[in-house]
Amino acid sequence: MKGLVNPLNGSLDPRSESVLKTLIETYLLEGEPVGSRLLSKRYPETLSSATIRNVLSDLEEDAMVTQPHTSSGRIPTERAYRYYVNRWLRLREPDDAMGAQLQAALEGIEQDPEAWLRHASRVLSEVMGGVCIALPQRLSSTRLVRLEFVPLDRHRLVGVWVGSLGEVEHQILENRWDFDAATLVEMANFASEQFRGCTLAEMRQKLLLALQERAGEARAMWERLSNLASRWPDPTSPSDHPVVVSGLGHMGQLPEFEDLDRFRSLVAAFEEHERLALLLNAFGQSAAMEVQLLLGSENPFLQSMPLATMVRSVPLGGQTWATFALMAPLRMDYGRILGGLAWWSQAVQRRADNLD
């Protein structure tokens, strides 16, 4: 399980670490700002409230805790949650009840993957307690293994993108230059060698940079490829984003979204399917091996939301993949939810392997 941010440079001293860990675990359990008196009761060693207050003051200077109100206790910051996850998190496998619910979410993959996507998203939301969004894997997140161009008729050709997750994308492109079959094979071989491991966006960018640097005969090949690549439909365009969203109503019942304006902003954000699709595409590739965890502002598409975002891509059998993102408030049981999502995604992988 990985995130975008490394642990803090250096470490807190042992006492500060211990106080921070106790505060976070107390806040996760109680859901209320933690005062020095409660913290001293939960702390595993004997420390006075005055000593704890001094440590909390230092942690506040380090932007690890904050006070919602001057008279209240402290709560962890996003920075503290990242420190906690990187340093102390232990994933837990689901208990029997949770495991049975997640296992039931595997049924139906082989019959109707699209219907299953909606079913699985709903189950994950209900079991984990958050918003789940899902999307079939898109070309913007896949990386090139091989590119092929096949003439269709005099003025059209078929571009075939073979991706790193085993998926194959076909696009009909205009052949305005009447490239013959031999030229198309030469171009495809050249592109496969030069751009293996690139996304479509990275390939386009490299082609543009190359055109600025090259001249003469060598420029012709790059120019032909650039023209074709520019006509390959952009998978991040807003025309078609079949994003599945489940569990949004549940979020309105949580303390983090009791404020009506904040909840309205949350609803508005999840109504922007283009933005959600970009999120899933952006992290779909890295989430193909393990869960990716983004905390708060680490999610570039929902930076203002106090949410933890867990992204995982799973195979559905054959060459079909889907990316899921589960979003929940920062105050959550990380070991249980991340452990459950990891366990579930491995079960999906095993089922998909049996279908192939």
Looking at residue 239, what is its pLDDT? 44
Q: What's the whole-number mean pLDDT along residues 100-113?
A: 79
pLDDT exceeds cutoff 60 at 112: yes
Other beta carbons less than 10 A from residue 240's beta carbon: 11
**Helices 78-88 + 14-30 axis angle, to 10:** 110
Q: E strands along 18-143, which residues? A: 65-66, 75-76, 131-136
Q: What's the whole-number mean pLDDT along residues 160-180?
A: 76
Give span(s): CATH 3.30.390.60, the chain. Answer: 144-231
Where does the pLDDT of residue 319 fall: very low under 50, low under 70, confident under 90, or very high at 90 and above? Answer: low
Residue 178 near residue 151, CB atoms below 8 Å: no
Mean pLDDT of the chain: 82
Distance of CA 271 to the CA centre of its chain: 18
pLDDT exceeds cutoff 90 at 78: yes
Other beta carbons less than 10 A from residue 282's beta carbon: 20
Looking at residue 3, what is its pLDDT? 46
Cα–Cα distances in Å, from 91 out to 21, 95, 335, 342? 16, 12, 4, 9
Residue 189 near residue 146, CB atoms below 8 Å: no
Q: E strands along the chain, which residues? A: 2-3, 65-66, 75-76, 131-136, 144-153, 156-163, 168-174, 244-246, 292-295, 307-317, 320-329
Better pLDDT: 133 or 277:
133
Looking at residue 280, what is its pLDDT? 83
Distance of CA 130 to the CA centre of its chain: 15
Among 25-39, 88-102, 104-118, 282-296, the minimum mean pLDDT is found in 104-118
Give the class (CATH, top level) of 2-88: mainly alpha
Where does the pLDDT of residue 315 fall: very low under 50, low under 70, confident under 90, or very high at 90 and above? Answer: confident
Among 8-12, 28-32, 66-70, 105-109, the minimum mean pLDDT is found in 8-12
Compute the distance between CA of residue 129 and CA of residue 269 in angstroms, rounded to an integer. Answer: 18
Cα–Cα distances in Å, from 89 out to 1, 85, 305? 10, 5, 22
Give span(s): CATH 1.10.10.10, the chain. Answer: 2-88
Distance of CA 76 to the CA centre of its chain: 23
Q: Looking at the domain 96-138+240-355, which fold is it?
A: Beta-Lactamase (3.30.450)
pLDDT exceeds cutoff 90 at 172: no
CA angle 233, 154, 160 (to 5 degrees): 35
Residue that the structure tokens 């219907």 belong to: 115
pLDDT exceeds cutoff 50 at 156: yes
pLDDT exceeds cutoff 60 at 183: yes
Distance of CA 25 to the CA centre of its chain: 25
Q: What's the whole-number mean pLDDT along residues 164-188?
A: 79
pLDDT cut 90: percent of the chain above it:
28
Give span(s): CATH 3.30.450.40, the chain. Answer: 96-138+240-355
Q: What's the whole-number mean pLDDT along residues 293-298?
A: 94
Better pLDDT: 264 or 292:
292
CA angle 301, 309, 262 (to 5 degrees): 65
**Helices 218-231 + 200-213 axis angle, to 10:** 150
Q: Which residue stretches of 246-314 are H helix?
A: 248-251, 260-271, 273-284
Compute the distance between CA of residue 307 and CA of residue 186 in angstroms, rounded to an integer. Answer: 48
Residue that the structure tokens 């079991």 belong to: 127
Q: What's the whole-number mean pLDDT along residues 287-302?
A: 90
Looking at residue 238, what is its pLDDT? 42
pLDDT exceeds cutoff 90 at 324: yes
Residue 3 near residue 292, CB atoms below 8 Å: yes
Looking at residue 165, what is its pLDDT? 58
Range among 224-228, 292-296, 298-302 with highest mean pLDDT value: 292-296
pLDDT exceeds cutoff 80 at 149: yes
Where does the pLDDT of residue 340 fall: very low under 50, low under 70, confident under 90, or very high at 90 and above? Answer: very high
Q: Looking at the domain 144-231, which fold is it?
A: Enolase-like; domain 1 (3.30.390)
Q: For residue 199, report the phi and psi dihedrals to the nearest 5 degrees.
A: -80, 170
Among 164-168, 252-256, 324-328, the minimum mean pLDDT is found in 164-168
Compute the distance between CA of residue 13 and CA of residue 325 in angstroms, rounded to an integer. Answer: 35
pLDDT exceeds cutoff 90 at 325: yes
Residue 5 near residue 342, CB atoms below 8 Å: no
Residue 167 tokens read as 């998926």
Where does the pLDDT of residue 6 fall: very low under 50, low under 70, confident under 90, or very high at 90 and above? Answer: very low
Looking at residue 87, what is its pLDDT? 93
pLDDT exceeds cutoff 50 at 289: yes
Q: What's the whole-number mean pLDDT along residues 165-189?
A: 80
Nearest CA among 177, 268, 181, 267 for reference residue 223: 177
Q: Is 99 helix (H, G, I), strand (E, B) or coil?
A: helix
